A and B are shown apart, each in its own frame.
Chain A
Amino acid sequence: MSPVIKRKRDKFSIPSKYLLLILTCICVALMAVTFFTDYSASPLNKLVGYVVIPFQNGVSRIGTWISVRMDELGELRIVLQENQELKQQIDELTVQNTQLQQDKYELNNLRELYKLDEQYSGYEKVGARIIARDSGNWFHSFTINKGTDDGLAVDMNVIAGGGLVGRIVDIGSNWAKVNAVINDDSNVSGMVLASSDNLMVQGSLQLMEEGVIGFGQLNDSQNRVEVGDKVVTSNISDKYLPSILIGYISEIEQDANNITKSGKITPAVDFEHLEEVLVILKTKQQIKD
């Protein structure tokens, strides 16, 4: 035990008790800062984005490539069989097609007459690929491969297959975290399309197992809302753009208070097999202006 060695050791080591205390304090301070102020850790987001996102991008690209190849092999046999059947169908369809083209011409004319709003195709959208999912099992948010560099911002709505997926809650320069509407901590203000009654769409981990989302606070005194009705985002939501399809009502129950109703919604989006999503490049606040 020469003093020289001893001093060298002392220089680098903090007793683990104090290290624990220091790190705990850092964590508590971080929590306090993010909880009480609106500070989002943007420099940290950026830094980590440059380190982690390229890897995630690469791995998920390899993964998709492999799964596509596997699918191709499996489907080859089925495809050959289908091919013959389809050739027969082509003949039948050509006949039908000529008829339909006439109908289409008529339809176009009618559309122009009515000037039907094309639902939300008016918004500018950008496609993004899901590259990673929440590492824990408690929440189901995911990361997409576009960020502020591509013009995205927090609170932008994310859709896929014609239905609402969620919204961007956190962002870096080349990634964005999307909070899905099926998430347990997600609440979306919705509206039954047929009767314009407002309701709250509440994600729930328990209902997720059944592939549905819950809803509550539906005020429907005249019993007009029925199973199968379309539920869209309402116009009073401050985060979600109006009339984006959320799903279809699959169950309704009267609440114990006899005033409101609650139940379940089958989402329009297949959250299990989501790979690519569309981000609407407008937030609700921008539209108001």
Chain B
Amino acid sequence: MKRNIILFFVILCGFVLQTTLFQALSFGGISPNILIIITVSYGFMHGRKYGMVVGFICGLLMDIFYGNVLGFYALVYLYIGAANGVFHSIFYQDDIKLPLVLILASDFAYSFTCYVLLYLLRGRFDFIFYLKNIIVPEVVYTIFVTVFIYPCILLLNRTKDDVERGDNKVV
């Protein structure tokens, strides 16, 4: 229960910061993708089911405010959350390499999906341009922000059972 309340506020904060603070901090019109950091983190921290639900909520929030079709982003985030849940079994709390790699891969997959479904299908074929100007900058910026945000998410999730399970794993 406590974890769910924290989760609610993490998503809310993530969304609010992404649409306000990080838009102001954007470099050349590119802002980092905080929601994907949250989705991926919860995915491999708590397993597939959590990843799915968190992804679904994050995506739905984006849909309501900025999507053209309700449910599109929700679907993309849902699958990203589910895919990251698979890596729950090799997750260690002290290790930051796995989160970085997973967030990098997920953000790339997310951007690529967006390009294919929202741009390629409307006849915008210049993939190299979009790769250079949108996808790669976004991934790099997101990874950079992850280094600061991920520890915070980790800290917020140190509930009692997490600590116990973490201990078991270390031993």
Q: Which A residues form the contact surface with B (CB < 8 A)?
A: 13-14, 16, 19-20, 23-24, 26-31, 33-35, 41, 44-45, 48, 51-52, 55-56, 59-60, 63, 67, 131-141, 143, 170, 177, 184-185, 205-206, 208-209, 272
A16-B52, A177-B66, A184-B119 as given contacts; A135 in contact with B74, CB under 8 Å: no
Binding site for A on B (CB under 8 A): 12, 15-21, 23-24, 29-31, 33-35, 47-49, 52-53, 56, 59, 61-66, 68-72, 74-75, 78, 82, 85, 111, 114-115, 118-119, 122, 124, 126, 129-130, 133-134, 137-138
Interchain CA distance A140-B23 in the complex, whole Å: 11
Contact of B12 among A51, A133, A139, A170 (CB under 8 A): A51
**Chain A positions within 8 Å of B69 at CB level:** 31, 34-35
Q: Which residues of A are found within 8 Å of B35, using beta-carbon distances?
A: 135
Q: Are A34 and B70 in contact (CB under 8 A)?
A: yes
When A and B form their complex, which 6 residue pairs have the shortest distance between CB atoms, in order from nearest? A30-B71, A132-B19, A27-B75, A31-B71, A27-B71, A133-B23
Q: Which residues of A contact B114 (CB under 8 A)?
A: 136, 138
A-B contact pairs, 26 of them (CB 8 A): A14-B49, A16-B48, A20-B48, A20-B78, A24-B75, A26-B74, A27-B59, A29-B71, A30-B74, A31-B75, A34-B71, A48-B64, A52-B65, A56-B16, A59-B16, A59-B21, A60-B20, A132-B20, A135-B31, A138-B114, A138-B115, A138-B119, A177-B65, A205-B119, A205-B134, A206-B126
- Smallest CB gap from A143: residue in B: B65
B71 near A135 (CB under 8 angstroms)?
no
Query: How far apart are A213's CB and chain B's nearest CB, in angstroms?
Result: 15
Which residue of the partner chain A has the closest CB to B16? A55
Contact A206:B85 (CB < 8 A) given known A30-B74, A41-B64, A59-B21 = no
A136 touches B126 (CB 8 A): no
Give the distance to chain A from B12, nearest Cβ to Cβ, in Å: 7
User: Please, how many angstroms separate the alpha-carbon atoms of A272 and B49 in the complex?
Assistant: 40
Let me know if A52 and B16 touch, CB within 8 A. yes
Complex formed: what's the CA distance from A45 to B65 in Å? Answer: 8
Q: Count the A-B residue pairs with Cβ separation under 8 angstroms: how many? A: 140
Q: In the complex, what's the smallest C-beta–C-beta distance from B83 to chain A, in angstroms?
A: 10
Q: What's the Cα separation between A51 and B62 when bound, in Å?
A: 14
Known contacts A30-B71, A35-B69; A56 and B78 CB within 8 A of each other: no
Which secondary structure dominates where chain A touches chain B?
helix
Residues of A within 8 A of B75 (CB): 24, 27-28, 31
| Given A30-B71, A59-B16, A138 contacting B23 (CB threshold 8 A) | no
Distance between B132 CB and nearest chain A CB, rounded to angstroms: 10
In the bound assembly, the distance between CA atoms of A140 and B68 in angstroms comes to 12
Please, which residues of chain A bring their CB within 8 A of the CB of B53? 19, 23
Task: Provide the residues of chain A in CB contact with B82, threshold 8 Å.
Answer: 16, 20
Q: A143 to B134, alpha carbons, bound, how many Å?
A: 22
- A134 and B69 alpha carbons, distance in the complex (Å): 15
Contact A16 B49 (CB under 8 A): yes
Whole-angstrom CA separation of A170 from B66 in the bound complex: 9
* Chain B hits for A30, CB < 8 A: 63, 70-71, 74
Cβ–Cβ < 8 Å partners of B129 in chain A: 206
Q: Please name the residue on chain B nearest to A204 by beta carbon.
A: B124
A137 with B16: CB separation less than 8 A: no
Cβ A52 vs Cβ B30 within 8 A: no
In the complex, A140→B26 CA distance in Å? Answer: 13
User: Is B138 a contact partner of A137 (Cβ separation < 8 A)?
Assistant: yes
| B72 neighbours in A (Cβ, 8 Å) | 27, 31
